[in-house]
Amino acid sequence: MNKLLIRGATILTMEGPDAIIDTGEILIEDGWITHVGLPGSASGSFDMDEVIEADGQVAMPGFINCHTHAAMTLLRGYADDLPLMKWLSEKIWPFEGRMTGEDIYWGTMLACLEMIKSGTTCFGDMYDHMHDVARAVENTGMRAMLSRGMIGVLPTGEKALADAEELAKNWNGKADGRITVMLGPHAPYTCPPEYLDKVMNLAAKFKLGINIHVAETLAEVEEIKKQYGKTPVQHLDSLGLFKFPVLAAHCVHLDEQDMEILAQKAMGIAYNPQSNMKLASGIAPVARLLELGATVGIGTDGTASNNNLDMLEELRTGSYLQKVSTMNPEVIPAYRALQMATIDGALCMGLGDRVGLIKEGMRADIILIDTTEPHMCPRHNLVANIAYAANASDVRTVIIDGKVVMLDRVVLTIDEERVMYEVRERAERLAGK
């Protein structure tokens, strides 16, 4: 049995706003959190395989990025400042059409490197060549929920369904349980009802959830209303999609009935504030969704529309955007923003029984954040300092599934120079430079 002790940190357990241990210790045994308490309270602490001295640091659950397209690191900065449909049809989709499985592997490796260095321990991904994405997740030690993106209106729609089935058979529960699989129909405007029927049949067969973009733009809403006489959410509900665990990404343009359906029936909503701002898609009504009891996590989306995978930056922007859009400074306070980026994100992806809290019986996905830098001083409010002042570079150590993957800013599972070399070379080729 491997034993790891984190000692001396302030522990932000995320079990509640006041569930903070000022100086404590966390015992991890074979990847499980088996003790959280005051110094010296862990039995057998004299017999550890590894001890991390964490004075001056905060231990908290790793960030959970609910929605991204990891391999789009290859497109970072390639197609900026365009509206969504022009961005997709004229730039993104042609570029992606030239990508190979190896390109996607290395793009995902870069995303994992970036996420680890900014404190993300788990991410939800929708893309192509998902076997190669899964290899990257397995090799880097990250945790991920993976979905094969499926566009039903393309000639490749049937192949995408077959690929999704293979992904479920080969990777669900693999990498020591760090990889889970959901089905990924792209959106209601690219997946007609007969195609979504096939997706739902597959979901029933393999007992899988469904990860789908919903109501991201006004153009999408108008198109679905014109075709089916309903909003995207009401259209999906009428098809029976919400009988399955659904993670709905974006959800920007919703009416009250849409929000009630999502609050009552969706497993979770992935809020992507910076991508929605950059593409001028709009502001998701998250404050109202939360009032209605919806579970909302935070996603960065891909780096072609953000342009980074920094969850601290994302949760901060997400909080501020709700405040200014509602003209209410009390909505999405600091703790709620951190909650959305941790345990609520885990719930959105069906992982709330495993990660998102520092609690006995959970898997040990934990980050250590340095609080000794000038921008973290003074400490009137620890939670506010993390949510509103901390930087990605303050994340010193990252533990995923009980294994140290970054120690004192050195990533132990990835050759950084090799990854960046591979991505630079491949991005130039794909862009035709």
Q: Determine if residue 67 is labeled as part of a ligand binding site.
A: yes
The DSSP symbol for 62 reads P
Using alpha carbons, select from 67, 212, 228, 241 the residue that is nearest to residue 150: 212
Q: Determine if residue 253 is labeled as part of a ligand binding site.
A: no
SS3 14: coil
The 3-state DSSP composition of the chain as helix, strand, coil percent (nearest 5) reads: 40, 25, 35
d(CA 393, CA 401): 22
Q: Determine if residue 81 is labeled as part of a ligand binding site.
A: no
34 C-beta neighbours (distance < 10 Å), count: 17
Q: What is the dihedral of CA 62, 66, 69, 75, to 10 degrees?
A: -70
SS3 33: strand
d(CA 340, CA 305): 21
Q: Determine if residue 375 is labeled as part of a ligand binding site.
A: no
d(CA 146, CA 25): 33
In contact, 323 and 287? CB cutoff 8 Å: no
Token duo for residue 403: 């294994």
In contact, 19 and 342? CB cutoff 8 Å: no
Amino acid letter, 382: L
DSSP string, 243-286: GS-EEEEE--S--HHHHHHHHHH-SEEEE-HHHHHHTT-----H
Residues 6+ apart with CB under 8 A from 53: 7, 8
In contact, 191 and 199? CB cutoff 8 Å: yes
Cis peptide before 170 (omega within 30 of 0): no
Angle at 316 between CA 313 and CA 318, to 5 degrees: 105
Q: Determine if residue 35 is labeled as part of a ligand binding site.
A: no
Q: Determine if residue 96 is labeled as part of a ligand binding site.
A: yes
DSSP string, 93-107: HHHHTT--HHHHHHH
Q: Determine if residue 186 is labeled as part of a ligand binding site.
A: yes
Q: Determine if residue 250 is labeled as part of a ligand binding site.
A: no
282 C-beta neighbours (distance < 10 Å), count: 16
Indicate the pairing of strand 246-250 with strand 268-271.
Answer: parallel
d(CA 355, CA 122): 9
Binding residues: 67, 69, 96, 148, 186, 213, 216, 301
Binding residues for Zn(2+): 67, 69, 213, 301
Binding residues for substrate: 96, 148, 186, 216, 301
